[in-house]
Structure 1
């Protein structure tokens, strides 16, 4: 969401006039909405909202549950109805249930062209990966330069195994993926590892077709001062976290650290969706009394929670191909100037960025000795100075405007 939003925010000042086609919020169905982000759309940018056809209303009636987050992050052990819904989603709605939007977009573009509008390029961003089929159709119909932005892997995305796909469904989804990768003029990914993964998906996919544009941070979102608490060593996690993040060993080490240092008020805070498995891990570690759970908040409030922390927690799901998972919040964590504790695979793209910027440390999921040593060091340092803020971070390489400049180069190339 923020990736496209921030591109649109900066494109006009860089000489590119964007027309945005998106969904009418009255007809769309999403787990959460953050209307505060509309303030980032510059005056004068044309935003066209279309209808859509989505099965999520039927899903809610069938399961009597909320609309699922990406990867079913807000669902624990699935019920029978949820398993049926996942099977239908994985084998009937290909590539995904959002495909019902595509015909509305193609009709809207056809109307613009019929009215004499001219465009130099089209950019499609996913997931949902069905959006890439819009770019494929527009490429065939009008021959426009097409940039396909894949924020996550497609057929290798971590929750594919939960969809119970048949061999036919897997084949068809892989065919869609290959068609998109081969037809696009530029394939944009958020991390080098994801780019390498996708490059092996089709014939004639040379490296010069692929470009890495990571997510970033917007300087305007970090104008407020950093206010780490003086009376609490507070570790904050912002965003969705599920059992696949494999943070149980780290939580156990946090609990042990609190026992070793009873004089230090060590606390945890999770801002966003916390899956039942993680809540149970907190309970098993005896950390519930030390943990603050905050439900979803608008983006600016989430940034405020980052700035009012001692250090920030980052998690990479323990799933196949996870070395290329590079969450957008990595860069906002950097902009918050807090030490970052990352629980994820060694050698990941996220770990490389933390090393490159000296902004934190990555720990393998089971490396409890290293976790223990780091936490003891953090406690000792906090006792000397509760403000553990790092030197101010500033990098055009990861700023939203700097990344948009690189996007403009790809558009004009």
Structure 2
């Protein structure tokens, strides 16, 4: 049995997508002769919590915990609302940022490099170095963001000589929000230097998208593999479809995820088509920025809007399967072409058609096309968006609206665990 030490910041009861990737790998590792030991913070400040995920931790898994110093706790003294908003990643556009938000972003970007969890690095290295000297571990795994977790892996590899496997759920210096952190040239250079050092020191890099793989291969000679996010076969009772023509978005809608042409198309359809107006509902599940809410209301959609807020993951799955159409919205920037959110794969197996919006050349567009799970549009394609929504509405009226996906089995969490297990064993053999 191969033993691996997984170092992660996000772990149940943390909610949101960051926790699910390695929770699911841990869930299936034993099927592939891998015994995981998980190292997490003892007292983290999670922006979202989902206690339902606690039940998914496999029985008997060893979970190590050590305290973490969280600067966000002290920042809340000055502005609890702004601190919580930033920690969720909901950052308003520059013109709408308050003085306090601008100040907090500047401090976050330039005083906490690579991120606000940097103070967990040194105590974790001390604790884990002792643990590793007393226990036989075959490979160290780190998963970020927060990318400070990778610094723990780098130090442990250099001190112990163990193989180190670095997993990037998101890119580092090319992530979409980096330009909002008000980084000085010196701070940006420090990020670039840290990123290169991590990529060059690790024995294997895993990323979730093909664009990030290409970017990293231009920086390092370390092998870089793609293991996407995926879906689990949830045990959910049969779900009844909504009687309304619901378009649902699951997950956070950040300020940059604001496709005004989508809102305009929906409003125009309510004015041009009485049946559409009577049946339509826009359902947003998760945190939504004020910018996005303002755009939706200014577009004239207030009467059709239902805000659900954050819900437990199992409830999100139920909403996906009962909705008529699912929305996938990414920031319209070349920096987000690499983002393949985990919910995409859950969307695929919900059997509901997807309308996705994002930048040209997005990795998401290829996956949606290859699996026949919906349609992808760029933000400016007003007429195409409107036409597709109307086409789905006509199918809804006829009772024939559904998606007919193909080739999604390889994205099941168990099959993805098989893939990453194979990579881990290759890394160990190379030793």
> Which TM-score tier does this pair reach, normalised by the shorter chain?
over 0.9
Provide the rounded CA distance (Å) in 1 between the counterparts of 2:181 and 2:55: 36
Equivalent residue, structure 1, for 2:11 = none
Q: CA RMSD in A?
A: 1.6
Q: TM-score, normalised by structure 1?
A: 0.94
Aligned 8 A contact 2:373 2:404 in 1? no
Counterpart for residue 259 of structure 2: 247
Instruction: Give the match for residue 353 of structure 1.
Output: 367
The one-character-per-residue Cα deviations of 1:304-350 (angstroms, maximum 9, x if unpaired) are 11111001000111233221111111001011111000011233110
* Aligned residue among 90, 93, 111 for 1:73: 90
CA displacement at 1:222 relative to structure 2 = 5.2
**Could you list the runs of 5+ residues in structure 2 that have no partner in the other structure?**
1-18, 427-431
Aligned residue for 1:403? Answer: 416
Q: What are the equivalent positions in structure 2 for 1:48-127 lying under 5 Å apart? A: 48-65=64-81, 66-69=83-86, 72-73=89-90, 77-114=96-133, 116-127=134-145
| Mapped partners of 1:369, 1:391: distance in 2 | 24
CA change 1:69–1:83 in 2 (3 A) is closer
Instruction: Answer with 49-58 or 351-360: which moved more.
Output: 49-58
User: 1:146·1:186 contact (CA, 8 Å) conserved in 2?
Assistant: yes
Q: CA deviation at 1:248?
A: 1.1
Number of equivalences: 403
- Residue in 2 aligned with 1:34? 50
Distance 2:376 2:35 in 1: 40
**SS of match in other structure, 1:217:** coil
CA shift for structure 1 position 172: 1.2
Task: Classify the secondary structure of the residue corresponding to 2:256.
Answer: helix
Deviation at 1:224, TM superposition (A): 2.9
Q: 2:395 aligns with which of 381, 388, 404?
A: 381
Q: Give the counterpart of 1:263 among 265, 275, 285.
A: 275
> Superposition pairs for residues 184-223 of structure 1, below 5 Å?
184-202=202-220, 205=221, 209-219=223-233, 221=234, 223=236
Stretch of structure 1 that moved more, 353-362 or 387-396: 387-396
- Match of 1:156? 174
Q: 2:355 aligns to what SS in structure 1?
A: strand
Deviation for aligned residue 1:272? 0.3
Per-residue deviation, 1:169: 1.1
Q: Cα deviations across residues 372-399 of structure 1 (Å, max 9, x unaligned)? A: 21112112111111x5232476733100
Mean alpha-carbon deviation: is it higher for 187-196 or for 316-325? 316-325
Q: 2:326 aligns with which of 298, 301, 312?
A: 312
Q: Displacement, 1:226? A: 3.5
SS, match of residue 321 in structure 1: helix
Contact 1:59 1:67 in 2 (8 A): no
Cα offsets for 1:291-311 (capped at 9, x unmatched): 110011110111111111001
